[in-house]
Amino acid sequence: MAVVEVQIPGPLRTHTGQQSKVRAQGSTVGEVLQNLAQEYPSISSQLFESDGSVRRFINLFVNGEDVRGKGGLDTEVSEGDRVGILPAMAGGTGLTPEQVQRYHRHLIMPEVGSRGQRRLAASKVLIVGAGGLGSPAAMYLAAAGVGTIGIVDFDEVEISNLQRQILHGADDLGKRKVDSAAETLERINPTINVIKHDEPLTSANAREIIRGYDVVINGCDNFPTRYLVNDVCYWENKPLVDGSIMRFDGQLTVYAPGHGCYRDLFPTPPPPGMVPSCAEAGVLGVLPGIVGTLQALEAIKLILGIGEPLVGRMLMFDGLSMEFRELKLRKDPECPVCGEHPTITEPIDYVQFCGVPHETALVG
């Protein structure tokens, strides 16, 4: 007879005094459930049919493994094992049995649970650039079950991308980046919807594209697109999870509607040629992996409404000294876009604004 920890899903916690974990005894999963029902009698009708069999929509896990792949109710348990209960259908999670298995590690977390997982499935995230930052962000969001992922990029996969853009592999050379990205995301999670925007993001199309999403992740590689994405996200009231990288340095922040924008920090871009691009100055391949993954995390927090989003502060990452530092950000009342008397209220010519040659004003 072992003592195990039983993980109680949100909808059943009314029967356990709101406890998310309780202890129960048994040598098999079936015995543990019986013991649980003795301890908390009102849970019995949730778990068992009148003939004493376990209700069909109840999924059971031992240490994260579905017991159906093991010995069912006769699956043996050992001291300290974790037994998970997940009701799959009506009155339960509203998720399919496959989703319950796929997202099990999310479902047992109180911060996500079935409600959060459904919220992720209903959410739409736009990723600007299927490059260094966009790659890990898109892959983790796909794996996490974000229901719709839009990718805007008009480039083709080149061999110099592969050192850091893990959406793409050697077989993808020459492919459209959005196609290569969609194939990778499909492999990770075929249940989500990937929307390919195989075009540059421009003043003409940005509002319409961004309007269709809930959260925007900025993984672009040039200043004109950074200002364009910032301005349009502000006008369309979309939270922008902004990241940028260079060599060993990363910057990350979230511009939430009503809480300032990129122009509060950097009213104008650097003079042309003063700050090189990654193509000119280099970037360590792992660096976008770190920053892009953090962007995915911030996007998920925004969708779930949990934790403290990185709003009003900037996280700086220095990969050489392996340090994260946080700096405070403030709204600029004089900001021409989000300030008290805005003077820019629709997309401008961002290439001209940044003073860069047109051919470098690319997304990716």
In whole angstroms, what is the distance from residue 182 CA to residue 189 CA? 10
Closest to other proteins by CB, 101 vs 244, is 244
Under the binding rule (CB under 8 A), the answer on residue 239 touching other proteins is no
Residue 239: CB minimum distance to other proteins, A: 18
Rounded to whole angstroms, the Cα distance separating 359 from 277 reads 13
Contact 301, 307 (CB under 8 A): yes
In this chain, which of 221, 231, 236, 298 binds other proteins, going by CB under 8 A?
221
Q: Which of 132, 147, 289, 309 lies at the binding interface for other proteins (CB under 8 A)?
A: 132
For the CB of residue 234, give the shortest distance to other proteins in the complex, in Å.
17
Residue (122 or 275) nearer to other proteins, CB: 275
Nearer to other proteins, 180 or 222 (CB): 222
Category of 159 on φ-ψ map: left (φ > 0), alpha (ψ -120 to 50) or beta:
alpha
Closer Cβ to other proteins, 101 or 135, answer by number = 135
CA atoms within 13 A on the CB side of 298: 26
What does residue 72 show for φ and ψ, rounded to 5 degrees? 60, -135
Rounded least distance, CB 140 to other proteins, Å: 16
Q: Does 219 bind other proteins (CB under 8 A)?
A: yes
**Does residue number 136 form part of the binding site for other proteins (CB under 8 A)?**
no
Q: Is 316 in the site for other proteins (CB under 8 A)?
A: yes
With binding defined as CB under 8 A, does residue 184 bind other proteins? Answer: no
Which residue among 12, 29, 112, 220 contacts other proteins (CB under 8 A)? 220
Sole window of 1-9, 144-152, 186-194, 242-250 interacting with other proteins (rule: CB under 8 A): 242-250
Cβ closest to other proteins, residue 114 vs residue 230: 230
Kindly state the smallest distance separating residue 351's Cβ from other proteins, in Å.
13
Nearer to other proteins, 18 or 321 (CB): 321
Among 330, 340, 343, 346, binds other proteins (CB under 8 A): 330
DSSP designation for 55: P
Are 265 and 329 within 8 A, CB to CB?
Answer: yes
C-alpha dist (Å) from residue 321 to 249, 284, 286, 310: 10, 14, 14, 22
Contact 321, 263 (CB under 8 A): no
Q: Which residues contact 37 (CB under 8 A, 6 or more apart)?
A: 43, 44, 47, 48
Name which of 309, 304, 307, 301 is nearest 122 in CA terms.
Answer: 304
- If one asks whether residue 301 binds other proteins (CB under 8 A), the answer comes out as no
The answer to the question of residue 364 lying near other proteins (CB under 8 A) is yes
Quick one: which of 171, 186, 326, 349 contacts other proteins (CB under 8 A)? 326
Shortest CB 356 distance to other proteins, Å: 9
Residue 94 in contact with residue 119, Cβ under 8 Å? no
Q: In the chain, what is the straight-line distance between the N-terminal and C-terminal CA atoms, in Å?
A: 58
Nearest CB to other proteins, comparing residues 93 and 202 = 202
- Contact between 57 and other proteins (CB under 8 A)? no
Q: Does 318 bind other proteins (CB under 8 A)?
A: yes
Which residues between 248 and 287 bind other proteins (CB under 8 A)?
248-249, 251, 265-270, 274-278, 281, 283
Interface stretch with other proteins, choices 17-25, 178-186, 202-210, 222-230 (CB under 8 A): 222-230
Identify whether the C-beta of residue 233 lies closer than 8 Å to the C-beta of residue 216. Answer: yes
Which amino acid would we find at residue 4?
V
Q: At what angle do helices 113-122 and 286-304 cross, to 10 degrees?
A: 110
Beta strands per DSSP E along 77-147: 82-87, 124-128
Unique residue bearing structure tokens 């008009």: 154
Sheet hosting strand 65-66, strand order edge to edge: 21-26, 2-7, 82-87, 58-62, 65-66
User: By the criterion CB under 8 A, which residues form the site for other proteins?
Assistant: 129, 131-134, 218-223, 226, 243-249, 251, 265-270, 274-278, 281, 283, 288, 314, 316, 318, 320-321, 325-328, 330, 364
